[in-house]
A = this chain, B = another copy of it.
Amino acid sequence: MMIVMKEGASEEQIQAVVDRIEKAGANAHVSRGQFVTVIGAVGDADSQVHEAGLELADGVDHVVPIMKPYKLSSLQFKKGERTTIEIDGRKLGGGVFSLIAGPCTVESRDQLFKSGEQCRAAGVPFFRGGAYKPRTSPYSFQGLGVEGLRLLKEAKEEFGMPIVTELMDVRDIDDVLEVADVIQVGARNMQNYNLLTEIGRSGRPALLKRGLSATIEELLMASEYILKEGNQDVMLCERGIRTFEPGYRFTLDLLAIPVLQQLTHLPIVVDPSHAAGRRDLVLPMSLAAAAAGADGIIVETHPDPENAVCDGPQAIVGSEFGDYASQVNRVAEMVGKQLEVISA
């Protein structure tokens, strides 16, 4: 942490800052420049110094953190080696590109199984489907709940694809652990810290969606809540952020992919469906995400989107999903990824 003093700060003010740094258990290094003096606080006591509130001490202009606040998720922590998540022999990350596909929400056995067939036929390694749906309106369909989980379990047995499904309420974790191979945390729950901690304790792989206005650093801090419990298998998911642009639901932030890859060893997945909100935009955004180096794409498809209960307009039509998947895979391969495609 560097404490930048105001121009003309007095010796007494400088000394008072030094004293407070040392009282907090760190060492102070004073650097006197032509205009301003900068005091470095060095030691393992970064957070104590932070809590000391030096921002408002007399003569202080501002305080600059030096150390990154995340540790276990940093690329340095694994000395530059990237994490590959492996489930039933199917991989994602560390150079391997995978699709995660399926319907937005589980509606019925028939819908789920038709979608499962279409995804399996397209070589998709991971199957997704929501039993609990966070909805802006209390008057909208909220998901089938436990019955949805039961159908997902049937589908898993039928198609052999590991299941990605969302957990919204910490009280449902045991039910979700019955079927989920990957527990999804929605954007609105990215900073639901107790939920993250419980998922960390469960040891089950997680897919953590970036909050609508979460910074890259906050996303990594959220993953840290899972990692600190000993659970290393976290995929980070960019799904669109909130900006001033009214022309689409969210702004898909693909620059986050290479930036995250410089900061963390965790795999980066992109959800193009929710930002776009319409299926004709999902393919170009999926190709772009693959080209930018994403480790995976989580995408919605439905056998009959016109009659979908939820988010039909953004679902890839099931009968066209094979073509979608092969185009996306082709771009991922071109930028050097190894493809995880399961032959039927």
Contact = CB atoms under 8 A, between A and B. Distances in A.
Interface of A: 2, 4, 6-8, 29, 31, 33-36, 38, 40, 42-44, 47, 51-53, 55-56, 64, 66-67, 69, 76, 134-141, 168-171, 188-189, 191-194, 197, 211-213, 215-218, 221, 224-225, 228, 241-248, 251-259, 262, 275-276, 278-281, 284-285, 287-293, 305-306, 308-310, 312-313, 330-331, 334-335
A138 B225 contact: yes
Nearest to A186: B191
- Which 5 pairs between the two chains have the least Cβ-Cβ distance? A213-B213, A291-B291, A288-B292, A287-B291, A33-B42
Contacts of A285: 254-255, 258, 292
Contacts of A310: 51
A66 B258 contact: no
Given A192-B189, A242-B244, A255-B276, A137 B291 contact: no
Contacts of A64: 2, 64
A254 B257 contact: no
Contacts of A287: 291-292, 335
A216 B245 contact: yes
Contacts of A335: 287
A215 B287 CA distance: 24
A66 B194 contact: no
Contact of A53 (B8, B168, B275, B308): B308
B281 A259 contact: yes
A213 B170 CA distance: 24
Given A69-B136, A213-B244, 9 more contacts: A34-B43, A64-B64, A213-B242, A243-B243, A245-B256, A248-B259, A257-B284, A288-B288, A331-B331
B213 A212 contact: yes
A254 B287 CA distance: 11
Contact of A288 (B211, B224, B254, B281): B254
Nearest to A286: B291
Nearest to A293: B284
A135 to B, nearest CB: 7
Contacts of A275: 255
Given A138-B224, A251-B253, A292-B288, A42 B34 contact: yes
